[in-house]
Structure 1
């Protein structure tokens, strides 16, 4: 597998993370620069590490990942998206009007969107693709796609106002539902 194929593999793997990045910037329009940087970094890190884990654990977890990855992703993203929507409707006057994005939430999202990269690691082993080439390309493409997606999300958030949080939650739920179908 050459560099061009690995680029497109990284592009395909990064689409869920990019969609979640848009969702996060819609839901959290007032992110500080650290949070803005942490999002693409976390997604890129996990997209780069998961193929390594899949590569070395290919025999042990292959069946589990193939069977349950969609369900795990579905439950995690639907839970986070649902919580975002519920928080909008049950926000009191005393509550802070600016929702907070946390590292924990970002890590959970990064794991949920990178489960398919674990399965790709199994394929990379079967195809004798060197991880030293594949993983950095996948991570860099993911970082770029998430960064671009965040810029798009910021554009939309500026004119959607507080409805952006609801839209962000709905997007996460939609991505979770999509994960149920291969």
Structure 2
């Protein structure tokens, strides 16, 4: 894949992965958080959106040496399945328990919205993308979208919350299909 199209794909993937954090931050924004707390939450989520896929990529590279020719196919299928899960989970009818964004609760929130980044990192490690560029994009985009979500959360959560998960899942599915057929 040429470098420019890889960058565009990575940015789109970063946006898709960041939609979980964006959705959660829309809800957190309704708690009237101070700007300092908003900044800290965004940085924490951005950090874990870099750390989790790094762990997945490293494991994915080890696995790719073992399974050879099936690596791109496996990565594409994995990304598609994650996106499909994210897309369909947007249709949940009940609202689950929400942790408060302080101390351990913040790390649990950040971990939960970054967990899908690990499995995406696994798929990306198998496909052999550029690690530094990918991690940087994941961290910056997720941090920015988390901040943005918290700042606009008071106004539009009920309208955009479900749609942001649908969009994120659609982007991941599309990226998985792109890898499968390229």
TM-score tier after normalising by the smaller chain length: 0.5 to 0.7
Give unmatched runs, 5+ long, in structure 1. Answer: 61-65, 75-79, 85-99, 158-166
Partner of 2:72: none
**Are 1:54 and 2:49 matched, yes or no?**
no
Instruction: Verify the 8 A CA contact 2:14 2:137 in the aligned structure 1.
Output: yes
C-alpha displacement at 1:101, in angstroms? 3.7
With structure 2 as the length reference, what TM-score do the two structures score?
Answer: 0.62
Partner of 1:140: 140
Q: 1:120/1:83 Cα in 2 relative to 1: closer, same or farther (>3 Å)?
A: closer
Partner of 1:42: 44
Q: Provide the rounded CA distance (Å) in 2 between the counterparts of 1:10 and 1:40.
A: 15
Q: Provide the rounded CA distance (Å) in 1 between the counterparts of 2:24 and 2:120.
A: 20
Among candidates 15, 22, 32, match of residue 11 of structure 1: 15
Larger radius of gyration: 1
With structure 1 as the length reference, what TM-score do the two structures score?
Answer: 0.62
Q: 1:101/1:127 Cα in 2 relative to 1: closer, same or farther (>3 Å)?
A: closer
Which consecutive segments of 4 or more residues in structure 1 shift more than 3 A? 154-157
Structure with more helix by fraction: 2
C-alpha displacement at 1:21, in angstroms? 0.6
